[in-house]
């Protein structure tokens, strides 16, 4: 059974805590039929893979990073800085990455390996907030309370499947969110939780999709011909696979059109969820527009 990876869960923390977001996802029909899978030979380019990554419409809403994402996050950042300054504190969070600078690494790769592992060292993560120096004002309880508010006043949003996420109920971070999100703050958080839950459920549900099952079967047959008959699932490769296994996995995905079918069918499953939950889509759209308006106002006043 599919389980959310640690990487996806870590990404969720950043996504749910972020500011305004915009969905530019491709909307697919919810029909269950799928065209015969083409070869994935054209997926050698990063651009082609990115197009596949953007197909699932729920995932696109959860992980996309656009100019509106930037405006929302930057508006909250600037508001929090000003709020802390009014209380006599210097708050210096990391700069907000522009949409043009942000890659889409946070998007999950729900079907295993897609490209050959790079021999280059991994890129360094952008610097986070530096821990305050002991004895500095930033290390004081007063600073923490001004920024994060009272621990006992935190607020919690609950998703449709019981997932809970809490946020500050008062303090400058809460005030910044309220300025941008208004009284829709908790509904916005709940909608994002529900979308994340739907994304994870869709990955489980797509396993029942006939076209996806056929694609997995073609991949299994290809792997068997390559000399690896015991491998039944691209997500269940050995923990330390040999280069031959990885090479066969990628070749079989390419020859059988596995990734094209997998992402297309996942997109259809996710679209069915959106079709069945119109209130989520309606609130998402309305709250996005409202947030972007507020964010522009904040940014205009703090330029």
Burial of 30 (0-12, 13-18, 19+ CB in 10 A): middle
Torsion-angle region of residue 83: left (phi > 0), alpha (psi -120 to 50) or beta?
Answer: alpha
Residue 123 is predicted with a pLDDT of 58
Q: Are 58 and 16 in contact (CB under 8 A)?
A: no
More confident residue, 23 or 4: 4
Phi then psi for residue 180, to 5 deg, are -85, -40
The pair of structure tokens assigned to 48 is 């082609």
- Mean per-residue pLDDT, 79-97: 95
Residue 3 is predicted with a pLDDT of 45
124: confidence class by pLDDT, cuts 50, 70, 90: low
The residue whose two tokens read 């290390």 is 139
Distance between CA atoms of 181 and 298, rounded to whole angstroms? 12
Q: Of 93, 177, 101, nearest to 166 (Cα)?
A: 177
Q: Above 80 in pLDDT, residue 220?
A: yes
Per-residue pLDDT tens over the stretch 266-293: 999 999 999 999 999 999 999 989 999 9
The pair of structure tokens assigned to 281 is 């889509």
- Mean per-residue pLDDT, 221-250: 90
The pair of structure tokens assigned to 180 is 């941008």
Q: Above 70 in pLDDT, residue 133?
A: yes
Residue 32 is predicted with a pLDDT of 37
Taking each helix axis as running N to C, give the angle between helix 67-86 and helix 278-302, from 0 to 180 degrees, rounded to the nearest 10: 50
Q: Above 70 in pLDDT, residue 34?
A: no
Q: Above 50 in pLDDT, residue 265?
A: yes
Residue 25 is predicted with a pLDDT of 32
The pTM score is: 0.81
């Amino acid at each position: 059974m599919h389980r959310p990876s640690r990487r996806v869960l870590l990404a969720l923390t950043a996504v749910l805590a972020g500011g305004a977001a915009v969905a530019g996802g491709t909307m697919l029909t919810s029909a269950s039929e799928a065209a015969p899978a083409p070869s994935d030979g054209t997926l050698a380019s990063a651009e082609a893979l990115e197009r596949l990554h953007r197909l699932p419409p729920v995932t696109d809403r959860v992980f996309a990073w656009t100019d509106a994402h930037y405006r929302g996050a930057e508006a909250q950042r600037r508001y929090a800085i000003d709020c802390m300054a009014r209380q006599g504190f210097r708050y210096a969070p990391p700069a907000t990455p522009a949409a043009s600078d942000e890659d889409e690494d946070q998007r999950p790769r729900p079907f295993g390996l897609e490209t050959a592992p790079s021999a280059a060292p991994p890129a360094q993560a952008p610097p986070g907030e530096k821990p305050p120096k002991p004895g500095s004002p930033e290390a004081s309880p007063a600073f923490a309370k001004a920024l994060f508010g009272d621990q006992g006043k935190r607020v919690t949003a609950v998703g449709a499947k019981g997932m809970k996420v809490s946020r500050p109920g008062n303090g400058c971070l809460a005030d910044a969110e309220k300025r941008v999100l208004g009284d829709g703050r908790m509904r916005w958080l709940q909608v994002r939780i529900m979308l994340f839950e739907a994304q994870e459920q869709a990955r489980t549900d797509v396993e029942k999709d006939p076209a996806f099952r056929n694609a997995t079967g073609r991949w299994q047959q290809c792997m068997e011909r390559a000399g690896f008959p015991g491998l039944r699932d691209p997500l269940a490769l050995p923990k330390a696979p040999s280069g031959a296994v990885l090479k066969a996995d990628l070749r079989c995905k390419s020859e059988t059109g596995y990734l094209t079918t997998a992402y297309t069918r996942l997109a259809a499953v996710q679209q069915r969820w959106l079709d069945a939950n119109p209130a989520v889509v309606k609130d998402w759209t309305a709250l996005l527009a409202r947030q972007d308006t507020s964010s522009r106002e904040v940014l205009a006043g703090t330029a």
